Amino acid sequence: MTEANATSIPGPAVIATIPEAPIPDAPNARRFVDKVVLVTGAARGQGRAEAVRFAAEGADIIAIDICADLPTTEYPGATPADLDETAQLVKGHGRRIVTSITDITDFAALQNAVDNGVEQLGGLDVVIANAGMTTASLTWEIDLDHWHATIDNNLHGAFYTAKATVPIMIEQGRGGAIVFTSSVAGLKGLPLLADYAAAKHGVTGLAKTLANELAAYRIRVNTVHPHGVATDLTVPELHGKLAARQDLGLLYMGSLPDETSESEDIAAAIAWLASNEARHVTGIQLPVDLGRTNR
């Protein structure tokens, strides 16, 4: 490499001034006109962004959320007012929405919420299993109640969502798409998140199995794997514990200069996975992770 060529390569100081790309917005192409999309954890954060994204592209929405504080988390849960706000945002796009305050770990209640939404909106085309929760501890220090709650909400809730919706989609005979929100923790051994990682690895395996079982029905199943996302689902104790263990903190670093993704980044990826543009995509794990899994 010549000296002239070497000096033409941007250094870190120059790269730091390159502006971040804008948050993705719904395209003019309306890929989900008159489709029905179910979203769990829809009251705020990623779930709300997903509901609004699909509504902007023409879909009607079944929005499910527990709308309550969970005793094993240190952050406040969503509220009925949050779910109402999601509903207003969906209606702002001229679409219908059926909301339900439902605990996804209660299968009978979840099945009832799904059936009610499908009856009111006339079918089911896309399922987004997004609801979840997390805490942070070294593996051997995890409280047993926290372990069970994390597995119950993240893994059992995802399975219950599939169990409640797949028979409906098969009976309809019109194909469809299911997207599970996993995590980088569903691909990597992120420290201080053993319960969450175990659950999210389980979600990844669940989706891969379903993708094989449902391919003949033209129902595609994929997972999306976010890293840090700017939502109310924050784990304050994680930052303190990582500060005390800098060797572990290095395992959280991505390669892009941005600290976190936005909920709209995840919604855009899910919308692509659910669209006909991805009609031959099933059984994959799509990281939206600032380059974390590439390190």
For each of the domains in the chain, give its residue range(s) and CATH number, in order of start.
Answer: 29-289 (3.40.50.720)
Q: Which two tokens stand for residue 252?
A: 């959280």
Q: What are phi and psi of 138, to 5 degrees?
A: -60, 145
Parallel, antiparallel or unpaired: strands 60-65 and 176-181:
unpaired
Residue 253 CA from chain centroid, whole number: 20
pLDDT of residue 249: 72
Q: Which two tokens stand for residue 294?
A: 């590439």
pLDDT of residue 22: 77
pLDDT of residue 45: 94
- Catalytic residue flag (residue 217): no
Give the single-character DSSP code of 175: -
The Cα–Cα gap between 4 and 192 comes to 47
pLDDT of residue 203: 99
The Cα–Cα gap between 17 and 292 comes to 21
pLDDT of residue 12: 54
E strands present in the chain: 36-40, 60-65, 97-101, 126-129, 176-181, 219-226, 285-288
The Cα–Cα gap between 226 and 35 comes to 25
Say whether 87 sits in a helix, a strand or coil.
Answer: helix
**Which residue in the list 75, 160, 196, 217 is annotated as catalytic?**
196
Q: Which residues of the chain have pLDDT under 70?
A: 1-17, 26-28, 232-236
pLDDT of residue 100: 99
CB atoms within 10 A of CB 108: 9
pLDDT of residue 251: 74
Alpha helix positions (H), 8-66: 12-15, 45-56
Q: Would the pTM of this model clear 0.95, i.e. be above it?
A: no
pLDDT tens readout for residues 33-60: 999 999 999 999 999 999 999 999 999 9
